[in-house]
Structure 1
C-alpha cells in the first residue's frame, strides 16, 4: 500500500513538473522571443529592457496591439529604455481640523439664582433644588 502511494505521489509530482515546464515562456537565443498566451509587447519589452515600439518597428508590426501566440519576435539589443515607474504614493491627508468651541462646565443654577431656585422648589415641590443647571 505504501509503495503504491509513493509511486502515485512521484507520478503526480512528475506530471506537475512537466506542466510547469510546458507553460513556461520560451526564450530563444540570439534575441528572439516566442509569444505565449497573455503576453503583450509592453510586457515583453519590459522583460528585456527594450521599448515596445522599437520591438514593433523591428518586426514590421502594423498594429503593435495585435500579436499572436507562438509568434516569433526579434528583440534588439537594449536601448537603455526603462519602463515608467509607478507614481509615488500620496502623502496622507492632514488630520481633520474641527472648530474649537469653548467648553463651559455645567454650573448649578443655585450659584446665580440661589434664592429663586429655593423659592421655586419650595413652591412646586422639587426633590432637590440643585438639579437646576445653568448652561445645559
Structure 2
C-alpha cells in the first residue's frame, strides 16, 4: 500500500494551494464537516462529499455527496484512484489532485498517525481551504 497525498488546486490557476498526506490503510474523508480528514469550505461541497478507501493494494474513490464528484467532466460514483488524477467536487467546485507515492519507511516515520497538512509556501493557511 502506498502513501497518498491530496493537493487542493487554485480555482483559476490550477497550482497547488494546500496538501494533505496520509499513511496507508486508512479511509480518508473529504467534505465541509469539521470531522472530515480534509475540510473544504465551499457551498457546493457536501458535509461528507467523498471517501478514498484502501482496497487491497490500491485506493478507491467513492462519491457520497449530493452534488457529485467529477473526473474529466464525467460524474462518478466509484473509481480506482490513479496517480495524478484530478477530481472535482461538484460540477463547479474545488479540484483535488491525487498523488500516490511508493511506500517509504523514512517518509512514513515523518507522518502523523492520520494525516499531515501543509500549506504551500507563501500562502496563508487560514485561507487555503476556503473555496469560492
**In proportion to residue count, which structure has more strand?**
2
User: Do these two structures clear the TM 0.5 threshold for a shared fold by scoring above it?
Assistant: no
Instruction: Give the TM-score of the pair, scaled to structure 2.
Output: 0.21
When Rg is computed on C-alpha atoms for both structures, the one with the higher figure is 1
Per chain length, whose mean CA-contact separation is higher, i.e. which structure has more relative contact order (CA < 8 Å, sep 6+)?
Answer: 2
Instruction: Give the TM-score of the pair, scaled to structure 1.
Output: 0.21
